[in-house]
C-alpha cells in the first residue's frame, strides 16, 4: 500500500486548499492583481472590486442567495458573533441548541441576553417539540446549527426556522460543517442568518461569510481579496463536485464502519447514522481511553476526540454529554471525518490501525488488572 502518512481523518477540523483554489488566489497576492476593493479611483481598486463581486456571486450561488445578502467575514466565528450582537429589541432571550459550537455558545453568553439551551435527543437531533417547549414572546433569536461538528447529524432547520418565525423570533443557522459538503439552500431553509467558513470546504483559512436575508450586515475593514477569490473558487468547485463526492464519502464511511464493526463488536456509533454528513463518524469504544489511543496512533492517523477547539481543554465533550453519553463513554469516543483526499486504502489502513490500538489497550488494561 502506498499512501501519505499519517492518513488525515479530521476534515471537520479543516481541509486543505484545492490546488485550483490556490491557482485562483495567487495572482491576487502579488503585483499582478493586488488591489483594495474600496480604492475605486484607480484601475487596481476597480479590478479588485470586480473580482470581489465575482467571488460573492459564486459564493451566494452555492447558497441559492443573492450576492447582496452576503457579508464576507473572517470566518464562522466572526459571523456567529455578529448575529448574536444584532440590534436588541424588547425581547430578552436567546435560544441555542445543545449541539452548538463554542463560537455560538460564547457569543450568546456574551450577548447580554439570557441564554436558554434547547436539548438534543439521544440520536443527536434538535426536535421541533424541544424548541416549541422553550420558545416564547421573550425569544429574540434562535440558533441551531445545520450539521454537527462532532457527530455529523443534520438538523431539521427548515421546520425549526418556521417555528421561530411563528413566534416572532429571528433564526440563525451555523452551517459551517454543511456548506460545500451537502446542498445548503438558504432561501429554502427560510433562515434569517447563516454562517460558514471557507476552510471547511477546500477554500482558504481566514475567510467565511454571513448570509442575512434582510441584506448585508455592515462590516468595517479591507476585504482580504485573495481569500475572497479563493472562497469563490471553492464554492464553484463544491457546486460541481458535491453530489458525486458525497456518495463516494458515504461509501468510504460505510466501508470503514463495517471493517471496524467486524473486529470490535462492542463499538457504538454516537448519534444516528442518518441524516448525517457524508464521511462523518463519531465512535465510542466503551471502557477505552480515546486520548491514549490517539497518542498510540499519532504516527499513522490524524484523528481527534472532538471539536479542535474543545480538545485543548480536555473537558468531556458537551455535545456528547447532551446526547446522553456517560463521562466514561465520552472518554472512549473519537471523531473521524473523511474528505477529498480520502481513499479506499486509507480507510482500510485506518480501520486496521484503530483495531490494533483498541486491542492493545484492552490487553494492557487486562494485564494491569491482573497485577
Ligand atoms: N461552527 C462550527 C460548527 C464549526 O465546526 C467551526 C469550526 N470548527 C466554527 C463554527 C468556527 O469556524 P472558524 O474557526 O473558521 O471561525
Reply yes or no on whether 358 is catalytic.
no
Pocket flag, ligand 1, residue 103 (CB < 6 Å) = yes
The conformation of residue 194, written as its DSSP 8-state character, comes to: E
- Angle (nearest 5°) at CA 18 between 14 and 24: 125
Helix or strand holding residue 337 (H, E): strand 333-337
Supply the pTM of this predicted model: 0.96
Each residue's pLDDT, cut to its tens digit, for the chain (371 residues) gives 568 899 999 999 999 999 999 999 999 999 999 999 999 999 999 999 999 999 999 999 999 999 999 999 999 999 999 999 987 788 999 999 999 999 999 999 999 999 999 999 999 999 999 999 999 999 999 999 999 999 999 999 999 999 999 999 999 999 999 999 999 999 999 999 999 999 999 999 999 999 999 997 889 999 999 999 999 999 999 999 999 999 999 999 999 999 999 999 999 999 999 999 999 999 999 999 999 999 999 999 999 987 554 555 568 999 999 999 999 999 999 999 999 999 999 999 999 999 999 999 988 877 776 55
Helix or strand holding residue 95 (H, E): strand 93-97
- Ligand 1 centroid–CA 44 distance in Å is 33
CATH for 196: 3.40.640.10
Q: How far is CA 351 from CA 210, 212, 334, 336, 345, in A?
A: 38, 42, 13, 11, 10
For residue 21, the SS3 value is helix
Residues 6+ apart with CB under 8 A from 298: 6
Residues 180, 62: Cα–Cα separation, whole Å: 8
Asked whether residue 208 falls in the same domain as residue 93, the answer is yes
In the beta sheet, which residues pair with residue 174?
195
Atom of ligand 1 nearest to the CA of 12: 5
Pocket flag, ligand 1, residue 77 (CB < 6 Å) = yes
User: Which of 144, 168, 137 lies closest to 158 in space, CA to CA?
Assistant: 144
Of 203, 238, 273, the last residue of a domain is 238
Atom of ligand 1 nearest to the CA of 103: 10
Asked whether residue 77 falls in the same domain as residue 164, the answer is yes
For the record, the C-alpha cell of 88 comes out as: 436588541
Asked whether residue 123 falls in the same domain as residue 202, the answer is yes
Q: Which of 17, 235, 309, 365 is catalytic?
A: 309
Asked whether residue 344 falls in the same domain as residue 266, the answer is yes
Of 220, 238, 256, the last residue of a domain is 238
Q: How many CB atoms lie within 10 A of CB 19?
A: 9
- Ligand 1 centroid–CA 370 distance in Å is 45
**pLDDT confidence of residue 142:** 98
- Ligand 1 centroid–CA 176 distance in Å is 6
Asked whether residue 277 falls in the same domain as residue 220, the answer is no
For residue 369, the SS3 value is helix
310-337 per-residue burial string, b: 16 or more CB within 10 A, e: under 16 = bbeeeebbbbbbbbebeeebbbbbbbbb
Asked whether residue 271 falls in the same domain as residue 173, the answer is no
- Angle (nearest 5°) at CA 119 between 142 and 336: 100
**pLDDT confidence of residue 306:** 74
Asked whether residue 143 falls in the same domain as residue 30, the answer is yes
Structural domain boundaries, residue 290: 7-15+242-370
For the record, the C-alpha cell of 314 comes out as: 480536555
Residue 288 lies in a domain: yes
For the record, the C-alpha cell of 79 comes out as: 459571523
Asked whether residue 221 falls in the same domain as residue 271, the answer is no
3-state secondary structure 108-143: HHCCCCEEEEECCCCCCCCCHHHHHHHCCCCEEEEE
For the record, the C-alpha cell of 305 comes out as: 476526540
Pocket flag, ligand 1, residue 76 (CB < 6 Å) = yes
Residues 100, 118: Cα–Cα separation, whole Å: 10
Q: How many CB atoms lie within 10 A of CB 188?
A: 11
Asked whether residue 248 falls in the same domain as residue 349, the answer is yes
CA 91 to chain centre: 29
Do residues 12 and 335 lie in contact, with contact meaning Cβ atoms separated by under 8 Å?
yes
Q: How far is CA 30 from CA 24, 26, 136, 226, 368, in A?
A: 12, 7, 53, 9, 60
Residues 182, 44: Cα–Cα separation, whole Å: 36
Asked whether residue 173 falls in the same domain as residue 133, the answer is yes
The protein residue with its alpha carbon nearest to ligand 1, atom 5, reads 149
For residue 78, the SS3 value is helix
Asked whether residue 248 falls in the same domain as residue 182, the answer is no
- Ligand 1 centroid–CA 195 distance in Å is 9
For the record, the C-alpha cell of 203 comes out as: 477554500
User: Which of 87, 143, 137 lies closest to 118 in space, CA to CA?
Assistant: 143
Amino acid at each position: 500500500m502506498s499512501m501519505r502518512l499519517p492518513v488525515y481523518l479530521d476534515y471537520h477540523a479543516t481541509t486543505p486548499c484545492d490546488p485550483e483554489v490556490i491557482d485562483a488566489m495567487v495572482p491576487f497576492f502579488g503585483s499582478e492583481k493586488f488591489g483594495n476593493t474600496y480604492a475605486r479611483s484607480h484601475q487596481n481598486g476597480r479590478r479588485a472590486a470586480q473580482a470581489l463581486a465575482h467571488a460573492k456571486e459564486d459564493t451566494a450561488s452555492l447558497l441559492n442567495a443573492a450576492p447582496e445578502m452576503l457579508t464576507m467575514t473572517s470566518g464562522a466565528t466572526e459571523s456567529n458573533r455578529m448575529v448574536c450582537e444584532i440590534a436588541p429589541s424588547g425581547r430578552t432571550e436567546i435560544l441555542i441548541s445543545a449541539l452548538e459550537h463554542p463560537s455560538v455558545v460564547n457569543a450568546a453568553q456574551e450577548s447580554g441576553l439570557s441564554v436558554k439551551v434547547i436539548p438534543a435527543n439521544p440520536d443527536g437531533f434538535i426536535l421541533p417539540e424541544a424548541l416549541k417547549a422553550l420558545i416564547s414572546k421573550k425569544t429574540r433569536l434562535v440558533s441551531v446549527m445545520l450539521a454537527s461538528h462532532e457527530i455529523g447529524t443534520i438538523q431539521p432547520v427548515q421546520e425549526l426556522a418556521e417555528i421561530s418565525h411563528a413566534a416572532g423570533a429571528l433564526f440563525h443557522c451555523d452551517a459551517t460543517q454543511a456548506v460545500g459538503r451537502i446542498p445548503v439552500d438558504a432561501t429554502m431553509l427560510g433562515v434569517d442568518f447563516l454562517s460558514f467558513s471557507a476552510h471547511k470546504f477546500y477554500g482558504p483559512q481566514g475567510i467565511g461569510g454571513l448570509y442575512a436575508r434582510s441584506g448585508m450586515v455592515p462590516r468595517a475593514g479591507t476585504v482580504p481579496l485573495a481569500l475572497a477569490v479563493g472562497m469563490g473558487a471553492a464554492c464553484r468547485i463544491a457546486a460541481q463536485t458535491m453530489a458525486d463526492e458525497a456518495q463516494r464519502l458515504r461509501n468510504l464511511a460505510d466501508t470503514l464502519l463495517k471493517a471496524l464493526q467486524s473486529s470490535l463488536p462492542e463499538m457504538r456509533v454516537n448519534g444516528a447514522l442518518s441524516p448525517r454528513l457524508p464521511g462523518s463518524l463519531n465512535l465510542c469504544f466503551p471502557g477505552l481511553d480515546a486520548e491514549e489511543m490517539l497518542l498510540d496512533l499519532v504516527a499513522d492517523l490524524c484523528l481527534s476526540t472532538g471539536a479542535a477547539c474543545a480538545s485543548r481543554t480536555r473537558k468531556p465533550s458537551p455535545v456528547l454529554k447532551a446526547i446522553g453519553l456517560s463521562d466514561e463513554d465520552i472518554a472512549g469516543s473519537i471523531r473521524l471525518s473523511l474528505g477529498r483526499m480520502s481513499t479506499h486504502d486509507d480507510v482500510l489502513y485506518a480501520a486496521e490501525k484503530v483495531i490494533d490500538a483498541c486491542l492493545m489497550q484492552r490487553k494492557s488494561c487486562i494485564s494491569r488488572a491482573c497485577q
